[in-house]
Chains A and B, each alone.
Chain A
Amino acid sequence: MDALNVPPAWRERLEQRGLAPLAGTGRGYFLWVAFLLAVIGWAVYAYSRQLDEGLIVTGLRDRISWGVYIASFVFFIGISHAGTLLSAILRVTKARWQLSVTRMAEFITVVALMVGALFPLIDMGRPDRLLNMVTYGRWQSPLLWDIFAISTYLTGSTIYLYLPLVPDFALARDRLGPTAARWRRTLFTVAALGWTGTPDQRKALERAISVMMVVIIPVAISVHTVVSWIFAMTLRVAFDSTIFGAYFVAGAIFSGIAAIILLMAVLRKLCHLEEFITKTQFVNLGYLMGAFTLIMGYANLSEYITHGYKMEGAFPFHFEQLMTGAFAAPFWFYIVGGLVIPGLIILNPRTRTISGIVTAAVLVLITMWLERYLIVVAGLRVPLLAYEPSSYTPSWVELSILAGAFALFALLITLFAKLFPVISIWEVADHRGPEPEPGAPAEAEHPRRGALAEGSVA
């Protein structure tokens, strides 16, 4: 509640940098948007082919009937956990270092959920009958659980994105209002909800934020758990695992951290936020990501050693195709390139630089998509009866739609960055203050920070 005393010049810089993207738009921005729209347009064309001819235009067939779409669904829902981790889990622990990137993480959450939720619709054979899920919905089906969990999470995340935005909208209204276009002025005024920063308002806001942060954590965990259950509830050897829910949640947070590292690296450059997003944020998130390489490695070991030791039923086939067979290359790329190398990059102080950590994050993102793909496709490839194992190659339609999904993700982030400050200005100013100089003891500069952690929320 009590704001830190920060140097006015620093605060001015923060407000200016935070609001700059809202104030003006360069030509590069429009070119970028045009490029993204072109990719999305191509994906829409690809989808129209699919609507017209049916799912026959994909590489999917009866025996491997889920592929790129469902793998990407799991991937995008996974990276949506970035926001929850940063703004809820870390906030509960009263960490402060992450405040300058919480806004971006919440962007990722909302946008990734929007994009991810499209994939099951794209994957449907009869999208025209979507409403059957409402009129005939059966709560016994894991797909219904997904719908409930994801829509709850999307609603909660949107509220959680919006709440800390209120004071920043007020700031935009006060500072940009007089010069901004009319629609922007209206947006800022309406969205600021009459915020003036009175103690009562601050108290109400912080209360709301602290309620949401507690509510959103179990919701986030439930989301990825039930996403795993669309697999684990089937009688497939490769999916038959009690660890699936926890493993998916861990993978979700892992890829979510990688997504936020990449996004903050990009936006830090583009929005000139180097002063507010420093190596501290990268290194701390890097440490978290490093810890999750170990958790993921442990989960994989636990999964494969218990089945691999016994080699029961059809499992030897699955084990063989992952370790040495058809999926060995992506599997080992995931283990080495997605877990071992990022772990080592973070472990070694010489590579633990911003560029090193971003490299690790990119590797994690690529391999986590592959890992989702392996779960779906390799799992379904295990033959159920005496037939030759099928093969699956994504078609141009599926790859185009995948590219379109990434473009849509980028486009939504790009648009959001023009509508909302990408940095939570008031939180950074009031609760974090200037980033400590490299090498300076963190607490020395702001003796009040310790006291704050004892008292107020957020």
Chain B
Amino acid sequence: MAKQLGRRSLLRFLGAGVAATGAAGVLAGKGAAPAAAATPHATTRGGRLRRWAMVIDLRRCDGCQSVGKPPQCTRACIEGHYAPEPMEWIQIYEQPISGGATQFVPMPCQHCQNAPCVNVCPVGATFHTPEGTVLIDQQRCIGCRICMEACPYDRRFFNWGSAPIPPETLFMQYDVEHQSPAIKGTVMKCDLCPDMARTGKLPYCSEACPNKAIYYGDLEEDLATNGAEVVTLSRFLATQAGYRQKEDLGTEPRVYYIPGHGEAVGRDPYRKGRLKTVWPWQQLRQGAKTWTR
């Protein structure tokens, strides 16, 4: 039944809850209250809070070997967020599996519901939102990096210096849900693009995936889509053996995986290697410096 909804109508449906406020209202609060308080939260038509989630179908991920390009989710995320080099907020790890083979695992921030980074932050700069995302207020972050020690998924990135970024970011209004322009000495990471979802769009990574491996959805409505098809989230996870990374740590991530190694798009798991991510705006800003992770 859900499949008949179609992609466009579903996205509009998911975005409807905040249609009135739109994207303009999501600017970060900077008062004494947690930064999230000023953000209008996305709700269903019935007024229930959205609980954003992501499902990554590893059967469809071949690390973009079939398209012969660097991973397109990473590229789109970098371009969409103006992520400073060398931050890959969604990064593809080539992980060994049985039989001497490998699988490609795209790793965005796992948006833990018991997030170790949130627990240890001394100033509440990184916080849970009611929608279930974990965000960072770079205007509050003091750069102590204890969150980076605490994160068991290696998903936090520090602005060690002034990275090269495109000039247009200099005129952007800073927003916790978009994190641009980057602020030297603060931490950044994947924000699960709730701002995109409210305007009826999929996250950059999901939209750019040539194999439609990344589903985005709402646990509350129990729906998710990869842009081509719509699935009932719980049923999809249950029937396709969904799992989460490092489940035993008790971090309760909001990012789920379907086990696989690119078999649905014809990948031979014995063939290793992937192309390196390229930043489109290297050396754009005067005096900018890049670093390696």
The yes or no verdict on A and B being binding partners is: yes
Give A residues with C-beta under 8 Å from B: 53-57, 60-63, 65-66, 120, 123-127, 129-130, 132-133, 135-138, 140-144, 230-231, 233-236, 380, 383-387, 390
User: With A54-B160, A126-B186 in contact, do A61 and B142 touch (Cβ < 8 Å)?
Assistant: no
B48 is an interface residue with CB less than 8 A from chain A:
no
Pick the contact of B123: A55, A137, A142 (CB < 8 A): A137
B145 is an interface residue with CB less than 8 A from chain A:
yes
Interface pair A235/B249, CB less than 8 Å apart: yes
User: With A120-B144, A125-B144, A126-B142 in contact, do A384 and B152 touch (Cβ < 8 Å)?
Assistant: yes
User: When each residue 63-102 of chain B gets 1 if its CB lies under 8 Å from chain A and 0 otherwise, what string results?
Assistant: 0000000000000000000000000000001111000000
With the chains together, A57 CA to B105 CA distance in Å?
A: 32
B124 is an interface residue with CB less than 8 A from chain A:
yes
**Interchain nearest-CB distance for A141 vs B (Å):** 4
Chain B residues with CB below 8 A from A386, complex form:
93-96, 105
Interface pair A124/B146, CB less than 8 Å apart: no
User: When each residue 143-159 of chain B gets 1 if its CB lies under 8 Å from chain A and 0 otherwise, what string results?
Assistant: 11110111111101111
**Interchain nearest-CB distance for B126 vs A (Å):** 10
With the chains together, A125 CA to B158 CA distance in Å?
A: 9
B119 is an interface residue with CB less than 8 A from chain A:
yes
**Interchain nearest-CB distance for B183 vs A (Å):** 8
Interface pair B123/A234, CB less than 8 Å apart: no
Interface pair A66/B142, CB less than 8 Å apart: no
**Interchain nearest-CB distance for A397 vs B (Å):** 12
Chain B residues with CB below 8 A from A62, complex form:
148, 154, 156-158, 293
Interface pair A385/B144, CB less than 8 Å apart: no
Interface pair A124/B143, CB less than 8 Å apart: yes
Interface pair B160/A56, CB less than 8 Å apart: yes
B292 is an interface residue with CB less than 8 A from chain A:
yes
Chain A residues with CB below 8 A from B196, complex form:
none
**Interchain nearest-CB distance for A50 vs B (Å):** 10
Interface pair A385/B159, CB less than 8 Å apart: no
With the chains together, A12 CA to B141 CA distance in Å?
A: 59
12 contacts between A and B (CB under 8 A): A54-B185, A55-B160, A57-B161, A123-B145, A125-B141, A136-B125, A138-B123, A141-B122, A234-B146, A235-B151, A384-B152, A384-B154
Chain A residues with CB below 8 A from B146, complex form:
141-143, 230, 234
With the chains together, A143 CA to B116 CA distance in Å?
A: 14
With the chains together, A386 CA to B32 CA distance in Å?
A: 40
Chain B residues with CB below 8 A from A126, complex form:
141-143, 185-186
Interface residue ranges of B152-193 to A (CB < 8 Å): 152-154, 156-162, 184-187
* Count of A-B residue pairs with CB < 8 Å: 141
Interface pair B32/A136, CB less than 8 Å apart: yes
Closest residue of chain B to A125, judged by CB?
A: B143
Interface pair A234/B95, CB less than 8 Å apart: no
User: With A54-B185, A126-B142 in contact, do A137 and B293 touch (Cβ < 8 Å)?
Assistant: no
**Interchain nearest-CB distance for A310 vs B (Å):** 15
Known: A61-B293, A142-B120, A384-B153. 11 other contacts (CB 8 A): A62-B293, A124-B142, A133-B123, A135-B32, A136-B123, A142-B146, A143-B120, A233-B120, A234-B150, A384-B152, A386-B105
User: With A142-B120, A144-B122 in contact, do A54 and B161 touch (Cβ < 8 Å)?
Assistant: yes
User: With A56-B161, A136-B124, A144-B122 in contact, do A234 and B96 touch (Cβ < 8 Å)?
Assistant: no
Chain B residues with CB below 8 A from A120, complex form:
144
Interface pair B143/A66, CB less than 8 Å apart: no
User: With A125-B158, A233-B120 in contact, do A66 and B150 touch (Cβ < 8 Å)?
Assistant: no
**Interchain nearest-CB distance for B92 vs A (Å):** 10
Chain B residues with CB below 8 A from A55, complex form:
143, 158, 160-161, 185
Chain A residues with CB below 8 A from B122, complex form:
133, 137-138, 141, 143-144
B121 is an interface residue with CB less than 8 A from chain A:
yes
Chain B residues with CB below 8 A from A136, complex form:
32, 123-125, 140
Interface pair B150/A61, CB less than 8 Å apart: no
B270 is an interface residue with CB less than 8 A from chain A:
no
Pick the contact of B140: A63, A129, A231 (CB < 8 A): A129
With the chains together, A125 CA to B116 CA distance in Å?
A: 20
Interface pair A234/B149, CB less than 8 Å apart: yes
Closest residue of chain B to A143, judged by CB?
A: B122
Interface pair A61/B140, CB less than 8 Å apart: no
With the chains together, A231 CA to B116 CA distance in Å?
A: 12
**Interchain nearest-CB distance for B279 vs A (Å):** 16
With the chains together, A243 CA to B96 CA distance in Å?
A: 33
Interface pair B148/A65, CB less than 8 Å apart: yes
B3 is an interface residue with CB less than 8 A from chain A:
no
Interface pair B184/A54, CB less than 8 Å apart: yes
With the chains together, A410 CA to B107 CA distance in Å?
A: 48
Closest residue of chain A to B249, judged by CB?
A: A235
With the chains together, A47 CA to B161 CA distance in Å?
A: 14
Interface pair B152/A65, CB less than 8 Å apart: no
B8 is an interface residue with CB less than 8 A from chain A:
no
